[in-house]
Amino acid sequence: MHTMADDKHAAPDGLFSGTIFEGGFSGGHAESHEWEGWGHYIEHNTKFGHFIFEYLAEFGVSRALSLWIVFIGLWLVLSVEIRDLPLFTLEWTIGTAPVWLPIVLLISSWFIWIWYIQSLFISGRDPVLLDIKIPREITKSPRAMELALVSFYATSGESSFIDRIWEGKVRVWYSFEYASFGGEVHMYVWCWKTHRRAVEAALYAQFPEIEIHQTEDYAAKFKFDPHKHKVFINEHVYANSDVYPLKTYIEFELDKDPDEEFKVDPMAQGFEYLSSLLPGEQAWIQVVFRASGKYGSMFKPKNKAKEWLERVKKEVANVRKLASQSDVDPGKESFPRPTWRQTEQMRIIERQMGKIPFDVAVCGFYIADQSVYNGAVANGTRWFWKPINNPGYLNALEPTRGHNAFDYPWQDFMKIRDGIMVRRYIDAYRRRCPFYSPWVMEYQTMTNEVLATMFHFPSSSVVTPGLERIASTKAEPPSNLPK
């Protein structure tokens, strides 16, 4: 299942995937008016039902609960007109079982097999967590990280349907992570052990002064105790179509390599927030990504990268068309006179066409002892990415699902859903796998330019006290020394 800003099929409160099947009908010329009448009737009632469900959702009533209420209500009304309706329903269900049961079993067996074979393949991967130590001076701009991310793009392993269906192979994914433990800030890269050397080579090639060490997985080590800990969780998804990027380091003019005193790093506020945590508080920020590639049918999958590129081209054409509309006659095109907003949109969107697309899922945790839990500090994980948001004419990462769905007391009776959800999200975080079962999160398409803005090594202009830096860089001895 795929999930993007244009195509959100995930259920509320996280970690379940759903599917929407859309269809239509058409009739002959003689029946066109009749079909048109039914079409308007269905469309009208569908819109009304959608309005009702959206209205109820504002009060914390999910669509699933609304549908169940409607179904049970109709069933009770029908039971007044039909005697022994429960018995009749049971007899009808058993009587038609030879028709629907084989179909249900076949479809269920297929999905169970795919789930099993992919889980078996993933369980054979040996993950490692790499702790990155940065020096006092980082002179390169995030463009160096953008170039390093080129080596992270890999679609191999699932080229044939035999690889995908019989062996359960999936393409490799990675995780960039920020973590703070009582104000001690760390930067991590998670990957499969087989890809560790490739990851280190890509990072060392652009940042030879950094140090990379394998470390213990802090998420796996953490033991959640509902009597001791309180957790705030949210995912982040695009507010607009994924053809529009976030503000990147280029908009902050970091691509021009300005002097340190003139640099404005958009992630400086995020580092400062992580450094401000007190003992007993933790914050985990996770950016999981993989190369955009095949999805959908296991036998004849679609190519998401090509589809994204086509959407980008189409959106540029739409903006150009709007810029060419006549002020006097909106339906007539005239000489293009784009506004500043339209010019910026076309310039930035077209620049993304030359970049590499990735599927990206983003989530954030705030974990604290109940004695020190602070709701205002927890809110910092919701707006961690706000410095690079541009909802006016580009895009924004908005917090969704997780605890953002709990607005009313009746949404979580006696905190039952909270405990279940926290354990599920922590398990999903440890797996670092939002693209496959058992936990599927929302994700969107981002380019390596956007990813490099979200995760890069800060220069000395970022003086966050909690960010540990290497005292001095290490170098190899001269080659002409006597042995």
For 243, residues 6+ apart whose C-beta sits below 8 A from its C-beta are 308, 311, 312, 315, 349, 352
Does 359 have pLDDT greater than 50?
Answer: yes
CA distance 180 to 70: 46
Percent of the chain at pLDDT exceeding 70: 85
pTM over 0.85: no
Q: Are 231 and 366 in contact (CB under 8 A)?
A: yes
DSSP character string of 300-332? S-EEHHHHHHHHHHHHHHHHHHHHTB-SS-TTS
A 10 A CB-CB count for 331 gives 6
Does 339 have pLDDT greater than 90?
Answer: no
Tell me what pLDDT residue 21 has: 28
Stretch 233-256: mean pLDDT? 92
Stretch 434-440: mean pLDDT? 88
CA distance 473 to 466: 19
Residue of 295, 309, 315 whose CA lies nearest to 354: 309
Tell me which of 128-142, 176-190, 407-421, 431-445 is least confident.
Answer: 407-421
Question: What confidence category does residue 3 fall into, taking pLDDT thresholds of 50, 70 and 90?
Answer: very low
Stretch 53-72: mean pLDDT? 80
Question: What confidence category does residue 294 fall into, taking pLDDT thresholds of 50, 70 and 90?
Answer: confident
Does 29 have pLDDT greater than 80?
Answer: no
CA distance 128 to 200: 12
Does 158 have pLDDT greater than 90?
Answer: no
Element (H, E) at 197: helix 196-206
Tell me what pLDDT residue 467 has: 85
Element (H, E) at 186: strand 184-192
User: Tens of pLDDT along 70-94?
Assistant: 888 888 888 888 888 888 889 999 9
For 292, residues 6+ apart whose C-beta sits below 8 A from its C-beta are 304, 305, 308, 357, 358, 359, 445
For 47, residues 6+ apart whose C-beta sits below 8 A from its C-beta are none
Query: Quick one: how far is CA 348 from the chain centroid?
Result: 21
Q: Comparing 286 with 45, which gets the higher pLDDT?
A: 286
User: Tens of pLDDT along 167-217?
Assistant: 989 999 999 999 999 999 999 999 999 999 999 999 999 999 999 999 999
CA distance 330 to 342: 17
User: Tens of pLDDT along 261-283?
Assistant: 778 889 999 999 999 999 999 99
